[in-house]
Amino acid sequence: MLLTDNVAIITGAASGIGRACTQRFLDEGATVLACDIDRRGLEALAEECDHSGLHTVLCDVRKRGDAESSVRKALSIGGRLDCLVNSAGITPRTLPPEADFEARWDAVMEVNAKGVFLMSYAALAEMRPAGRGSIVNLVSIMSMVGYPTSLPFSDGFTAYPHSKGAVAQMTREMGVRFGVEGVRINAVAPGFVYSPLTENVVGDADVHAEMKRLHPMGRMGQPEEIAAVVAFLASDDASFVTASVWPVDGGYTAQ
C-alpha cells in the first residue's frame, strides 16, 4: 500500500474529490483526519467508511485557529504529520444569488486561496522541523486556461479561475522553497469532474454535453480518478516530484 503508516489531513473531506481522497488514503493504509465545515457530511462519511483509521474534525479553512487546531489534532492522533491534501473549495455557483460581484470574489478567494495558505502554513510548521512531508493542492484546469466561451460559467470576473491560479503558483513557490527541507508540494488540476461543484450545471443537458465534448476522452472525470493521482503524489513513489501541477483532465489542456 502506498501510504502505510502515514498520517494525513484532508480538507473538504465530506464530499466530492475530498471524500474520494479520504477513502483512497484509507485504502492505501493511511490514518486520515477528515476536515470539513459540514458536520452532517462528516457524520455520513464516518458512518459509511467505518474505518479505524478515520478521524473527523469540523474545520473552517478560512480561520487560522481552525487550521492550527486541525494540525494539533492530527499530531495527537498519529504523533506526526506526513501529508496535507488541500481539497476544500467552492465556486461562485454555490453562493447565494443575492451576493454581488465583490462578495462572490471575497468568498471564493477566502476558501480557495486563503484556506490553502492557512492550512499549508500550519502543516509546514510541523513538517519542516521533521525534514519530511507532502502537500497536495487541488487546483483546476482553470488555473491553466480560461473558461471556454461555449460554457456559461464566466462573465470575465469570476473568482474561481483566479483563486485556482493563485494556488497553482503557491504550489510552485512553496515547492521550490521547501524542497531542500524535505517537504514536497504539488498540485493536481482536474478537468470537469462529477461532484457537488458541478451537479447544479450538469442538469442542463446542453451544458453537460458540451462539458463532456471539451475533453478529448469524451467524458467528464470521476472523483476516484483524481484521488488516485493525489495518493501517488502524496506517497514516496513520487519522491522526486515537487513544485509541479499535474493535469488530470482527459486531455483537455493538451488541445
CATH number, domain of 140, equals: 3.40.50.720
Instruction: Evaluate whether residue 252 is within a structural domain.
Output: no
Number of structural domains, the chain?
A: 1
Per-residue pLDDT of 167-216, as tens digits, reads 999 999 999 999 999 999 999 999 999 999 999 899 999 999 999 999 99
Mean pLDDT of the chain: 97
How would residue 157 be classed by pLDDT, with cut points 50, 70 and 90? very high
Please give the pLDDT value at position 94.
83
Instruction: Evaluate whether residue 28 is within a structural domain.
Output: yes
Q: Hey, is 152 helix, strand or coil?
A: coil
Q: Are 66 and 75 in contact (CB under 8 A)?
A: no
Chain position carrying cell 479553512: 61
Helix (H) or strand (E) holding 227: helix 223-234
Domain with 44 in it: 7-245
How would residue 50 be classed by pLDDT, with cut points 50, 70 and 90? confident
pTM: 0.97
Instruction: Evaluate whether residue 254 is within a structural domain.
Output: no
CA distance 133 to 143: 24
Q: Locate 38 and state its grid cell.
A: 459540514
Residues 29-46 have a mean pLDDT of 98
Is the confidence at residue 93, as pLDDT, over 90? Answer: no
Residues known to be catalytic: 160
Instruction: Evaluate whether residue 251 is within a structural domain.
Output: no
